[in-house]
Structure 1
Amino acid sequence: MSLPAKVMRDGLLEKRSSGLLQLWKKKRCVLTEEGLQLHNCRGGGGGDVRSSAWSSRAKELRFERMATVDCVEYKRGLVYFTVVMATGKEIDFRCPQEDTAWNAEIALALVRYKNLQAVQTGRNRHLSTAHLGSTGEEEEL
């Protein structure tokens, strides 16, 4: 069993539904080192994250499946942005303009995750070529 990922931010975002009407639905979003967790509201609670009833089960958008955070637009006091998944699926979000750090924090966390993965891949590649190189040098002698 692994330890829970560190929470970097917790708050409200609105997500556009993928249905025919494409309605905006409030979600409690928890940004962690692994991705973005989306919790549904279970009741008609107020706008406060702590006073609303949120489902314990969450949809998770993991960084390993994300490609980028795109399309930032400011309109009528709201910030609109899109999370693009590796499959090409686009998920639209919006939040109040005074809360604009959401899109930046998601993008920075995604970059941090991808950089750590690249460093780990490079380190593994270096270790495997160093190991292969050492046996090859011994053969030449």
Structure 2
Amino acid sequence: CTSSDPSLFKEGLLEKRSDGLLQLWKKKHCVLTEDGHHGGGGDAGKVKELHFANMKTVDCVERKGKYVYFTVVMTEGKEIDFRCPQDEGWNAEITLQMVQYKNRQAILAVKSTRQKQHFKPSLSQHRCLFFPIHGEK
């Protein structure tokens, strides 16, 4: 990617299989960012976001002809099929960024838990601030 945005990892065309009866492949302009995959383009600029927080795994990687086929499995169980030319490596980049995102979230959760445990005040840690009552000095 040649973008100046450091949170942008990859940009280009990715094909998504439609949910319809014919299950046609539709080209989508996609952007892979720090938080997830953003697709859009084909349908009058509509943008669809697949956040890593809602992704469970990248599955079913299969190479056929010039394409790599893969499935993004969402946490609620929905499966979204994609394909791209083998040399573009979308599946590997999405997987790598998803794992890094999940690792960052796990580190933040551990830090948050430790901070809560660290800052639980014991009786000796209670601090009081006294204000003089009107009329007293």
Distance of 2:14 and 2:85 partners within structure 1: 9
What SS does structure 2 have at the residue aligned with 1:61?
A: strand
1:135 to 112, 119, 122: 122
TM (norm. structure 2) is 0.82
- Equivalent residue of 2:99, what SS? helix
Distance 1:5 1:38 in 2: 18
Secondary structure of residue in 2 paired with 1:41: coil
Which runs of 5 or more structure 2 residues have no equivalent in the other structure? 126-137
Q: How many residues align?
A: 121
Verify the 8 A CA contact 1:5 1:34 in the aligned structure 2. Answer: no
CA distance in 2, matches of 1:135, 1:6: 42
Unpaired stretches in structure 1, ≥5 consecutive residues: 43-53
TM-score, normalised relative to structure 1: 0.79
1:49-78: CA deviations, max 9, x gaps?
Answer: xxxxx71x3100011111111110001121
Please report the RMSD computed on the Cα atoms of aligned residues, expressed in angstroms: 1.8
Give the Å deviation of 1:5: 7.7
Query: Which residue is 1:48 aligned to?
Result: none
2:70 alignment partner in structure 1: 81
Aligned equivalents of 1:135 and 1:124: distance in 2? 19
Asked if residue 67 in structure 1 is aligned to residue 56 in structure 2, the reply is yes
Indicate the structure (1 or 2) with the bigger Cα radius of gyration: 2
More helix by share: 1
After superposing on structure 2, the runs of 4+ consecutive aligned residues of structure 1 that deviate more than 4 Å are none
